[in-house]
Amino acid sequence: MSQSAEKINLLGLSKSKMEEFFESIGEKKFRATQVIKWIHQGGVGSFDEMTNVSKALRTKLAEVAEIRAPEVVYHDYSKDGTRKWVLRLDGGSSVETVLIPEGDRATLCVSSQVGCSLDCSFCSTGKQGFNRNLTAAEIIGQLRVAILSFGPVVLKSDQRRVTNVVLMGMGEPLMNFEPVVDAMSLMMEDNAYGLSKRRVTLSTAGLVPGIDRLGEVTDVSLALSLHAPNDELRNELVPLNRRYPIQEVLASTKRYLSHCADKRVITIEYTMIDGVNDQPEHARELVHLLREFPCKLNLIPFNPFPNSGYRRSRSAAVERFKEITTKGRIITTIRSTRGDDIDAACGQLVGQVDDRTRRSEKYIPVVQEVSAQGS
């Protein structure tokens, strides 16, 4: 791994950056499309496999560049079909990525950082602190790993193995702006994964300057982690709120929507914590707050982790909450808890491998997947 550190990893290059790369080595721009297709649709891990590229160029590429995805350390299946991969990154840290099949959809939950600096009180990722940003290659590499785990064949649009991507894994995506935007552009690039912008969702805790900047460069779907109907409570749950209070965040997400050509709404995420934010008065306050705001509401039962100090809301409280918000004309859904038997549910991703002896017994080695990616 480390011997190739000076080579440029083509896996994470957006189309425009790939074109710049080819120009920088004195080659024609159209090579970018060719190579992007090979890497992301062909799933190749070496230049030798690129049969429509001349031998001379392949040799040149191998000298200066590489195609390298994070290494799969292990993966696990939940009894509900959810899959989780733990990926080792350069430098030794690791991240987790989760695939959630549901009917004819399969949603991949992708991480953007190792750890997180925001320290939301109910999130286990925040408790581990911040380690580092992921590179674009490490972000798109998660999608590659998930797709190639089904077999190293060229993708056909009618048999997608991953239909949706949500940046709801570890980290705050807007705190790792450029790599996240580059990776998302590959997710949507026709010559790569070709997902529609409605099927790529970035979730943020409400970093206002990041939301504004995002609106200038893309129009992916946006989810906002709100979790509270007023600033006092939100300050406690999401410390970032002290810097960017609710009204400012809502205003920035509205600005974001105004950049989108088609009609969109913001997904409001609301983690339901027993006795903390799940009472009928919270629901009523939320209805008042979000009246006239273009959104749909997704209630997420809190997923417990050791020493969180919180409990999951009772299902009766979640149902009651939903009744009130629905009556208040907010389209409301309850997120089914998936993958919690393998610690793959929201807020349970921590990406550490060494202190989890209890679970290590269950991990299935994935030698095949690693070789299939050619990394």
Which residues are designated catalytic?
96, 346
Segment interacting with ligand SAH (CB under 6 A) among 144-152, 203-211, 257-265, 277-285? 203-211
Closest distance of CB 282 from ligand SAH, Å: 16
The reply to whether 346 sits near ligand SAH by the rule CB under 6 A is yes
Establish whether 109 is an annotated binding residue: no
Return the range that interacts with ligand SAH (CB under 6 A); candidates 190-198, 251-259, 295-303, 313-321. Answer: 295-303
Given a contact cutoff of 8 angstroms between Cβ atoms, the answer to whether 53 and 340 are in contact is no
Q: Which stretch binds ligand SAH (CB under 6 A): 15-23, 35-43, 300-308, 366-374?
A: 300-308
The reply to whether 256 sits near ligand SAH by the rule CB under 6 A is no
* From candidates 21, 47, 122, 321, binder to ligand SAH by CB under 6 A: 122
Q: Which of 142, 149, 201, 204 binds ligand SAH (CB under 6 A)?
A: 204
Q: Least distance in Å: CB of 123 to ligand SAH?
A: 3
- Of the pair 48, 212, the CB lying nearest ligand SAH is at 212
Q: Which residue is nearest to ligand SAH (CB)?
A: 347
Told to check if 225 binds ligand SAH by CB under 6 A, we report yes
Is 185 known to sit in a ligand binding site? no
| 271 interacts with ligand SAH by CB under 6 A | yes
Query: Judged by CB, which is closer to ligand SAH: 347, or 351?
Result: 347
The single residue among 131, 191, 203, 241 that binds ligand SAH, judged by CB under 6 A, is: 203
205 vs 223: CA distance, rounded Å: 9
| 303 marked as binding residue | yes
**Rounded Cα–Cα distance for residues 86 and 92 (Å):** 12
Q: Supply φ then ψ for residue 146, to 5 degrees.
A: -65, -45
The answer on whether 123 is annotated among ligand-binding residues is: yes
Dig out the tokens for 62 from the structure.
């191998």
Asked if residue 221 lies in contact with residue 202, where contact means CB atoms within 8 angstroms, the answer is yes
With binding defined as CB under 6 A, does residue 299 bind ligand SAH?
no
Among the residue ranges 15-23, 64-72, 198-206, 252-260, the one whose residues contact ligand SAH (CB under 6 A): 198-206
221 binding ligand SAH? (CB under 6 A) = no
The whole-angstrom separation of Cα 32 and Cα 174 is: 27
Q: What angle do CA 78, 82, 88 make, to 5 degrees?
A: 90
Can residue 276 be called a binding residue for ligand SAH (CB under 6 A)? no
Feature table: binding site for [4Fe-4S] cluster = 116, 120, 123
Q: Under the rule (CB under 6 A), what is the footprint of ligand SAH?
A: 122-123, 168, 172, 203-205, 225, 269, 271, 300, 302-303, 346-347
